[in-house]
Amino acid sequence: MPRISPESAPVVAFGANDSSAKARAVHVGFILLPEYSMIAFANAVETLRMANYISRQTLYRWSVISPDQAAAVASNGLAISALGDAAGLADCDMVFVCGGVNVRQATDDNVRQLLRQCAASGATMGSLCTGAFALANAGLLDGYRCAIHWENLAAISEEFPKVQFSTEVFIVDRERITCSGGTSPLHLMLHLMRERFGAKLVMDVSEQFIVERLRASKDRQRIPQPECIGPGYQHLTEAAEIMAANIEEPLPLAELASAINLSLRQLERLFHRYFSMNPAQYYMNLRLRRAQELLTHSSMPIMQVTVACGFQSSSHFCKAYRSLFGQSPSEERRSHAAATATKPRASTWKEPLGPVMRAA
């Protein structure tokens, strides 16, 4: 069937008695990497299923595979029997690779080759949760804007400088569609659904899933302390964003306050009110948490992590890190490596998705 571009697809009206619906079905492929995020995959595929259910048409059909042709084991230990092989992806309009924990280990030569084959066939390539790492590792995101789960953002940005990473919930950039984790794939699918099938279907699906607000692509994954709403909170959010964007070369606090049109004293009062700490403490914690992300989600040498997080000396970095996390950077890396080396056992229960995946 002809491939469908997310940007150029026409809005199609749907009705229960439209016999041509199946010919228009959008074919979506899912590649589940070992220890993938089940919540990300479920939010994506269930949104497509609900669209079919509400419209009483096969608006979408989908194929699900694991790269090694075995049952796909999620990070929660549950296994889903794969429904097909790589050949089933040949005529997909869109192919999403779904990652999770240990995505680096899960992305091997077979995965890279499979992703490149899908892209060469003309499919729009996408990712869910940490799946963007696999796309970037296969060289398929160079020159594109990209969203990935916030926990992996710092490490992957350092590793793939040709990719424009963002904190947005999801990004549609030409023939690349990338999405962060959790429930954000639901919002991505609803966005794509609205472009093709119109707002009425999206509203109906949202009602079924009790979704009160659709998140837009430009929404950020994280904002500081969203429950703290009050006078000056917008200034606080702006300050935190500026801090996060200036980790390697921390800004003087006076310059930071001036950037958001506050005095240093006003900035200090806001941080004490909402965070019970001064701006310098918050900035230090932000840099140290960035360091933790790099230590646990990248192979960067500790000295490079030290510099990337704005520390002038390794001794200062180690002392500050131990103060916040209770262990040194090298101990953090060793303990994380030991924890990830222990793979979760797959449940003997197999989720009965076979008939569902073939249903309208």
Report the CATH number that the domain containing residue 264 is assigned in CATH.
Answer: 1.10.10.60
Does residue 213 share a domain with residue 68? yes
Considering the domain architecture, whether residues 284 and 212 belong to the same structural domain is answered as no
Same domain for 324 and 284: yes
Domain that holds residue 337: 233-341
pLDDT number for residue 15: 38
114 part of a folded domain: yes
pLDDT tens-place string over residues 185-226: 999 999 999 999 999 999 999 998 988 777 766 665 555 544
> Which stretch of 65-69, 78-82, 157-161, 165-169 has the lowest confidence by average pLDDT?
78-82
Is the pLDDT reported for residue 40 higher than 50?
Answer: yes
Residue 54: CB atoms within 10 Å: 16
Please check whether residues 157 and 65 belong to one and the same domain: yes
Return the structure tokens found at 166. Answer: 């963002």
Write out the two tokens for 250.
């921390």
Cα separation, 239 vs 295, in Å, equals 25
Type of residue found at 71: A
Contacts of 194 (CB under 8 A, 6+ apart): 201, 202
Q: How confident is the model at residue 4 (pLDDT cuts 50, 70, 90)?
A: very low
**Mean pLDDT confidence for 86-99:** 90
Is 2 part of any domain?
no
Could you give the CA distance from residue 200 to residue 206 in angstroms, rounded to a whole number?
A: 10
Return the structure tokens found at 292.
Answer: 């933790």
Residue 203 and residue 122 in one domain: yes
Residue bearing the bigger pLDDT, 14 or 304: 304
Look at residues 190, 219, 248 and tell me which one is the last residue of a structural domain.
219
Q: What's the mean pLDDT in 232-236?
A: 75
1 within some domain: no
Tell me, what's the pLDDT at 245?
84
The token pair that represents 125 in the structure block? 């390539």
pLDDT in tens, 102-153: 898 899 999 999 999 999 999 999 999 999 999 999 999 999 999 887 777 7
Does residue 123 sit within a domain? yes
User: What is the percent of the chain where pLDDT is above 90?
Assistant: 52
**Single-letter code of the amino acid located at 299:** S
Same domain, 215 and 257: no
Q: What is the 3-state secondary structure (H, E, C) of the chain?
A: CCCCCCCCCCCCCCCCCCCCCHHHCEEEEEEECCCECHHHHHHHHHHHHHHHHHHCCCCEEEEEECCCCCCEEECCCCEECCCCCHHHHCCCCEEEEECECCHHHHCCHHHHHHHHHHHHCCCEEEEECCHHHHHHHCCCCCCCEEECCHHHHHHHHHHCCCCEEECECEEEECCEEEECCCCHHHHHHHHHHHHHHCHHHHHHHHHHCCCCCCCCCCCECCCCCCCCCCCCHHHHHHHHHHHHHCCCCCCCHHHHHHHCCCCHHHHHHHHHHHHCCCHHHHHHHHHHHHHHHHHHHCCCCHHHHHHHCCCCCHHHHHHHHHHHHCCCHHHHHHHHHHHHHCCCCCCCCECCCHHHHHCC
Question: Same structural domain for residues 196 and 108?
Answer: yes
pLDDT for residue 42: 95
Last residue of some domain: 157, 189, 219? 219
- Tokens coding 355: 């008939």
Per-residue model confidence (pLDDT) at position 113: 95
d(CA 274, CA 233): 8
Query: For position 82, what pLDDT does the model report?
Result: 57
CATH number for the domain spanning 122: value is 3.40.50.880
Between 353 and 346, where is the model more confident?
A: 346
295, 305 contact by CB (below 8 A) = yes
Task: Say how many domains are in the chain.
Answer: 2
Model confidence band, residue 253 (pLDDT cutoffs 50, 70, 90): very high
What's the whole-model pTM score? 0.65
Provide the pLDDT for residue 348.
35
For residue 317, what pLDDT is reported? 95
Cross-strand partners of 127: 97, 178
pLDDT value for 85: 76
Distance CA 303, CA 316 (A): 12
42/138 same-domain check: yes
Determine contact, residues 73/107, Cβ cutoff 8 Å: no
* The last residue of a domain, from among 196, 219, 242: 219
| 42-80 tens-digit pLDDT | 999 999 999 999 999 999 999 999 887 778 889 898 888
Mark whether 240 and 124 lie in a shared domain.
Answer: no
> In this structure, are 170 and 300 located in the same domain?
no
Q: Using pLDDT thresholds of 50, 70 and 90, give the confidence band for residue 231.
A: low
Question: Do 49 and 183 reside in the same domain of the chain?
Answer: yes
* 4 lies in some domain: no
pLDDT at position 290 is: 86
Average pLDDT, the chain: 82
Distance CA 346, CA 74 (A): 8
Percent share of the chain, pLDDT over 70: 82
Cα–Cα dist 167/45, whole Å: 23
* In a shared domain, residues 195 and 53: yes
